[in-house]
Chains A and B, each alone.
Chain A
Amino acid sequence: MKGTRFLTMMALLAVLFGAAGLTAVAEPLPQGSGDGGAADLAPVATPVPENAPDMDGYVGPLFQETGDTGDASSSADGQSDASLDWEQAFPELQLDEETAPITTADGEITWSGFYYVFVAGSTLQPRASTTTWASSGGGGCIYAVADAGMFNVPLDLPQGSRIDYLRLYFYDTSASDSRAWVTIYDGAGGYVDVIGVNSSGTAGYGTTLSDYMGHIVNNSSNAYVLNWRPNVTGSTMMLCGLRVAYRLP
C-alpha cells in the first residue's frame, strides 16, 4: 500500500515537472514595446511573432547572404561634401592600428591587440542648451551653430581595459582648431582629463592621433565621457568621429 502511494506521488511530481518544462518552452520569447504606463496613450501588446526571423528557433526560408544594400537616401542631408579615402590618405599602419597583442620577453600575452570604440560626431550632444547644432557629412558630422560650447557622449569600455589612444576625425577649414578629449568623473565634482587631441590645418577632412595614454579603465570609480569643443561656430569646423583604441588584459 505504501509502495503504491509512493509511486502515485512520484508520478504526480513527474507529471508536474513535465508540464512545467513544456510551459517554459511554450512561453513567448521576449516581447515587443512593453513601454506601458502612459497616461495619454494606453499601450497594447504588440508581440513579436514567435517564428520571426530575428528570433532563435525560426523556421522558414533560409536567407541568402548579400552585400551592403544601403538606402542611400536615408542619411543624406542635402550637402555634398566630398569625402576622403582614409586608405589612400594613410596607407601605412598607424600607431593605433597595430593588431598584434603585447607580449613579454618569454612570449606571454599581457595585453590584447587593439579594440575600438568609434562614435560618429553627430551622436554627441551639447552640454548646455544654449549651444545649438546641426549636422553634415552625410549626417555623420556635427558642428555648433551658436555658442561654440562643449559636446559630449558617454564612453563605455570594459572594466580593466587600457585606453591607449584617442583619434579625432574632423572637417576643418577654419583658422581655429577644435579639441577632443576623454574625461573621467568621480560623481563628486572631481574629474581628470585623461587624454586629448586637437584638429589641425585648414584642408577639410582630416584625422589626428593623441599621444599614448595607457589609462586603465575603472568603471567602479569613474564615469567616462568623450568631449569635443569646436572653439568656433559654423560648418568650417565639424566633428566627424572619435575613435578610442583600447586593449583588453
Chain B
Amino acid sequence: MNIRHTCKLGMMIALFLALMSLSQSVTTAQAPAVALNGDVTAAAWSGFLYKFVAGSTLRPRASATTWASSGGGGCIYAVAGASEVFNVPLDLPQGSRIDYLRLYFYDTSASDSTAWVTIYDGAGGYVDVIGVNSSGTAGYGTTQSAYMGHIVNNSSNAYVLNWRPNVTGSTMMLCGLRVAYRLSLPYSVYLPLTLKNY
C-alpha cells in the first residue's frame, strides 16, 4: 500500500515537473516582445530571430587593405590597412526591428575593434544605426551593443554590416557578427495560446 502511494506521489510530482518544464520552454523559446503595460495580447513583435555571419565572409571596402583568415576559417583579420573597413550586405525582412548587434572577436591586442550597422540611401547619405566594440585582451570573446529598435526599410535603405579592426595582425580578429531582430506580428492570433489573456 505504501509502495502504491509512493509511486502515485512520484508520478504526480514528475508529471508536474514535466508540465512546468514544457510551459517554460514555450515561453522562453517563443516569447514575443510584450507591451510595456504588460498586455501580452498587445505584443507586436515576435521572439528573437538572428542573422549570424562569419567574420571571414566580410571583405575590405578598399583593395589597399589585405587580409587573412584564422579560427578554422571563420575569423578574419587585416594584414595591412588597419583603419579600413570590412563589410558585408545585411539582408533583413521588410518591417523587422533590429534590436541588438553582437560582436564575436578574438582580441589579444591593446586596441579594440568596432563593428556596426550602417544604412545607405544610394546618394551618399548614411546613418550608423548601431555599434559595439570588442574589449579586453583575453582572446575569444563577445560583446553586445546597446538596444537600438531600428525598423528595417528596404525600400529606402541598403543595410551593411561593418567592422574596423583598428590594428593589423592576428591579435585582432573578427569571428562573427550576429544581429538580433524581431518580426512584426500584425495579428495576435499567431501567439501561443498560453500567452493570451484568455
Answer whether A and B are interacting partners.
Answer: yes
User: Which A residues have a C-beta under 8 Å from some C-beta of B?
Assistant: 3-4, 7-8, 10-11, 14-15, 17-19, 21-22, 24-25, 30, 32-33, 35-38, 40-41, 43-44, 46, 48, 52-57, 62-63, 65-66, 68-72, 74-75, 77, 81-86, 97, 114-123, 125-126, 131-135, 137-142, 145, 153, 156, 169, 171, 205, 207, 240-241, 243
Q: Is the CB of A7 within 8 A of B8?
A: yes
Q: A30-B50, A68-B150, A140-B122 are in contact. List 6 more A-B contacts (CB 8 A).
A: A10-B11, A40-B70, A56-B31, A75-B118, A75-B126, A138-B118
List 9 A-B pairs, minimum CB-CB distance, nearest first: A169-B122, A35-B74, A21-B21, A83-B124, A140-B120, A241-B122, A37-B72, A57-B28, A14-B14
> How many pairs of A and B residues are in contact by the CB < 8 Å rule?
266
CA distance A63 to B14 in the complex (A): 37
CA distance A82 to B154 in the complex (A): 22
Q: How far is the CB of B118 from chain A (nearest CB, A)?
A: 5
Chain B residues lying within 8 Å of A77, measured Cβ to Cβ, are 61, 85
Asked whether any CB of chain A lies closer than 8 Å to the CB of B112, the reply is: no
Among B30, B141, B144, B160, the residue within 8 A (CB) of A54 is: B144
Chain B residues lying within 8 Å of A55, measured Cβ to Cβ, are 48, 180
Interface of B is mostly: mixed
Chain B residues lying within 8 Å of A44, measured Cβ to Cβ, are 139-140
Q: Is the CB of A21 within 8 A of B18?
A: yes
- Interface size, B (range): 35 or more
Q: Is the CB of A35 within 8 A of B18?
A: no
Q: Is the CB of A41 within 8 A of B162?
A: no
Chain B residues lying within 8 Å of A133, measured Cβ to Cβ, are 62-63
User: Which B residues have a C-beta under 8 Å from some C-beta of A?
Assistant: 3-4, 7-8, 10-11, 13-18, 20-22, 24-25, 27-31, 36, 47-48, 50, 54, 59, 61-64, 70-75, 85, 87-89, 91, 94, 99-100, 102, 104, 106, 114, 116, 118, 120-129, 131, 139-142, 144, 147-150, 154-160, 162, 164, 170, 175-176, 178, 180
